[in-house]
Structure 1
Amino acid sequence: MKHIFLNLKRFDIVCERGGVNRLSAPATWGTAIARAVAPVATRYEGTAEFAAFLPEAHIIPAVQEKGTAPFGIGCQGVHTEDSAPGGNFGAFTTLRTANSMAELGCSWALIGHCEERMHLRSVMAEAGADPAAIEPAVDRILAREVRAAQAAGLKVLFCMGERSEEQDAWDQVLTRQLEGGLAGAAKDGLRIAYEPVWSIGPGKTPADAPYIAKVARLVKAALPGVDVVYGGGLKADNAQMLAGIDEIDGGLIALTRFTGEIGFYPDEYAEIVDLYLGK
C-alpha cells in the first residue's frame, strides 16, 4: 500500500501577515483542508493510506469535518512527557502532549521534521552546547517524542535526512538518526519520511531517483517491514519520477504551487495524488 501525507506547517497564516493561506479564512481553514483531502482519500481507499498534519488550532474542525472519510488527522510533533494515571495530571503549559492530541481526535504525529530538528539545534547552540554533542542529543529527544506518541496510541511519521555539510557521510548520518531517534520505538504504525535537506529550497538541485532509492534501501535494511516515503516534497513535477522508484512507498505533500500565488490548492492536491498513484 502507498502512503500520502500532507503537512500544512503554518500555512494557515494569511498573505497580509506574510503567509501563503489563500484557501480559507483562518477560522474555517481546518474544515477546508479536510474537505480537500476527503474525496481524494475516498477515491483511493484500499490503495493508499492518507493523513494530514495540521497546526493545533485546526485539528478539532478538521476531525469534525472529515467524519468517516478514510484518512487520519495528525499533529506536528508532541512533547517528550505526558499525563499518566497516578502521575503527572497534565501540568504541561505551552507543550503539546500526545494524550491531549489523541483526545482531540488525532491518530498520527509527525516527529523529527527538519524544521523541528533545526529548532532543537538552535536551542542547544544558544546554551553553548558542545557541537559534537548536539546531534546525538537531538536524536535522544526525538526518540522520547516517538515513544510518547506511540504510548498514546498515535501512529508516527518519523522524518530524517542529511544536510549539505553531512552529505559526504550520508549513510553514517542517516543510520545514526534512525538508531538514535527510534531507540525503544515500536515498528507497528511507524512510517519513515526521507527529507534530503540539502536539496530542499529555491535554487537547490533536487535529489534524483538513484539517490532517493539508495537511501530508501538503507532505511529498509535497518528497519525491515517499515515503509519509506519521500519527505522532500511530493509535487506535480516529481510525482511520476517518485512513482517509478520501487523502494519508495509514497510521499509528503506541502505546498502545491511554488511560483506565482504560492500556496495549497485542493484541485492541485488531487492532481498530484493522481499523478503519483497513476490515475
Structure 2
Amino acid sequence: MKHILLNLKRFDVPEELGGVNRLAPVNEWGARVVEGTQQALKQYDPKETEFIDFLPEAHLLNAVNARKDDSPVQIGSQGVYRMDVAPGGNFGAFTTNRPAAAVKALGCTATLIGHCEERNDKKGILADAGVTGEAAASVVNKILNEEILCAQRQGLKVVYCIGETSEEQEHWQEVLGAQLADGLNGADKSSIIVAYEPVWSIGPGKIPADQAYITKIARFVKEQTGGMDVVYGGGLKTDNAAMLASIPEIDGGLIALTRFQGAIGFYPEEYLDIIRIYLGK
C-alpha cells in the first residue's frame, strides 16, 4: 500500500495577511482542496494507494462535507491533545486543545502526530523551563505517545513523524530509535504510518537528503518496528518524486506546498502532477 499524505499546515492564511492561500476564500478553502482532487484520484486503485489530507481544524467540516460518497480522499487533523474526553469522565474541559473525540466527531479518520514543527514547539516550551537536550527529547516523545494512544482509542489512523536535527545527525540511530521506542510504546502499530523527516535538510539553502540516506533511514525504521510502512516526510514534490518512487523501502510521501517559487502555495493540479510522477500513471 502506498500512502499519499497532504499536510496543508497554515496554508489557509490569505496572501494579504502574509500567508500563501491563493486558492480560495478562507470559508471555502477546505472544500476547494477536496473538490479539486477527489475525482481525479478515483483512477487509482484504493487497495494499492490511499490519500489522506491533514487540514487546520477550522476547515475540517468543509473538507468532510465536500467529500462524495465514493471519494478516495480521507480527512485528517493536524494533531490531537494528549488527553481526551470519556463517557462518565471529563466531558471536554480542554480549552484551546483538540481532543481526539472532537476530531472523530468532525468526521476525520486520521491524525498527524509528531511533525517536526510540533516537536519544536514542545521543545521550546521545555527550554523556557530549563529542560533541554536528551531530557527534553524524552519528555516530548512521551507526550507524543500519549497523543497516539488517545487517537487510537478513538479509532483514528496515525501518521507518526520522526526525524533528526543537524545537531542530532551524528547519533541519528539513538535519536530515531528513542522516538520510535518511546513514541510507539503500547500502541497498535498496524494502524500507524511512520513519516521520516530529515529536519537537518529541510528549508531554504539546505542540501536535501539523498537517495542513499533516505534508504538507510527507511531500512532502519523497518528493522526497528518489525516492518511498519515508512513514508518520506521531508516533502514529496515534483523534483524528487521519481527518486523516492525508486526506493523500495519507501511507501509514499508527505506533500505540502506544490509551488516553491513565484506565486508560492498549494495548487490541486500541481498536487495531482506530483502523484502522477510518483505513481508512474
Moved more, 116-125 or 184-193: 184-193
Moved more, 53-62 or 41-50: 41-50
Distance in 1 (alpha carbons) for counterparts of 2:58 and 2:88: 29
Deviations for 1:131-184, whole angstroms, at most 9, x for unmatched residues? 341000000000000000000110000000000011111111100110111111
Deviations for 1:3-59, whole angstroms, at most 9, x for unmatched residues? 100000000001111100000000100001111231243121333111000000100
- Match of 1:53? 54
Shift of the alpha carbon at 1:189? 1.3
Deviations for 1:78-122, whole angstroms, at most 9, x for unmatched residues? 001111112111111111000000000000000000000000000
Aligned residue pairs total 279
Moved more, 125-134 or 235-244: 125-134
State the identity %: 56
- Match of 1:278? 280
Superposition map of 1:116-135 within 5 A: 116-135=118-137
Q: Is the 8 A contact 2:221 2:227 kept in 1?
A: no
Distance in 2 (alpha carbons) for counterparts of 1:42 and 1:189: 23
Out of 88, 92, 113, the position equivalent to 2:94 is: 92
Q: Is the 8 A contact 2:258 2:265 kept in 1?
A: yes
Q: For residue 115 of structure 1, what is the amino acid of its counterpart?
A: E
TM-score, normalized by length of structure 2? 0.97
Superposition map of 1:254-265 within 5 A: 254-265=256-267
- Match of 1:41? 41
Please state whether the residue corresponding to 1:37 is helix, strand or coil: coil
Distance in 2 (alpha carbons) for counterparts of 1:128 and 1:152: 34
Moved more, 33-42 or 252-261: 33-42
Q: Is the 8 A contact 1:60 1:105 kept in 2?
A: yes
Superposition map of 1:15-164 within 5 A: 15-46=15-46, 47-68=48-69, 69-164=71-166
Superposition map of 1:244-259 within 5 A: 244-259=246-261
Distance in 1 (alpha carbons) for counterparts of 2:268 and 2:89: 43
Out of 201, 208, 227, the position equivalent to 2:203 is: 201
TM-score, normalized by length of structure 1? 0.98
Distance in 2 (alpha carbons) for counterparts of 1:51 and 1:23: 19
- Match of 1:210? 212
- Match of 1:228? 230
Shift of the alpha carbon at 1:130? 4.7
Please state whether the residue corresponding to 2:189 is helix, strand or coil: coil
Distance in 2 (alpha carbons) for counterparts of 1:101 and 1:119: 21
Q: Is the 8 A contact 2:123 2:132 kept in 1?
A: no
Gaps of 5+ in 2: none
Moved more, 180-189 or 16-25: 180-189
Distance in 1 (alpha carbons) for counterparts of 2:64 and 2:2: 22
Distance in 2 (alpha carbons) for counterparts of 1:67 and 1:107: 15
Please state whether the residue corresponding to 2:36 is helix, strand or coil: helix
Q: Is the 8 A contact 1:12 1:21 kept in 2?
A: yes
Please state whether the residue corresponding to 1:51 is helix, strand or coil: strand
Distance in 2 (alpha carbons) for counterparts of 1:133 and 1:223: 23
Moved more, 162-171 or 130-139: 130-139
Distance in 1 (alpha carbons) for counterparts of 2:213 and 2:233: 14
Distance in 1 (alpha carbons) for counterparts of 2:132 and 2:195: 28
Please state whether the residue corresponding to 1:10 is helix, strand or coil: coil
Q: Is the 8 A contact 1:45 1:70 kept in 2?
A: no
Cα distance change on mapping 1:27 and 1:228 into 2, 3 Å? same
